[in-house]
Amino acid sequence: MRAGLDTNVLLRLANPLDPDHPLVQGYVDRCLDSGAELRILPQNLYDFWVVATRPVANNGLGLSTDECDQDLKRCFLVW
């Protein structure tokens, strides 16, 4: 099975303080454990970058560009 991950899933996965983080992490873990191939489209990475680097006051994660780059490499490019 192949599954595409929406940007909202990526944002919640990257933010351990998000109330839905455990739910999303569990979903991703179950998918990987079942042998699913998780896919991320370039548009999702772009959208993630936009929201992750947006200030918290403007409904973003408030990450610096370096922090965002590290999160992308650590969380999403390892699959």
Q: What are phi and psi of 40, to 5 degrees?
A: -130, 125
Q: How high does pLDDT run on average in the chain?
A: 89
**Strand (E) positions, the chain?**
2-4, 37-39
Per-residue pLDDT tens for 60-74?
999 999 999 888 887
Per-residue pLDDT tens for 21-40?
999 999 999 999 999 998 88
Overall domain count for the chain: 1
Range of the domain at 61: 2-76
Q: Which value, in Å, is the radius of gyration of the alpha carbons in the chain?
A: 12
Whether pTM exceeds 0.75:
yes
CA distance 54 to 40: 21
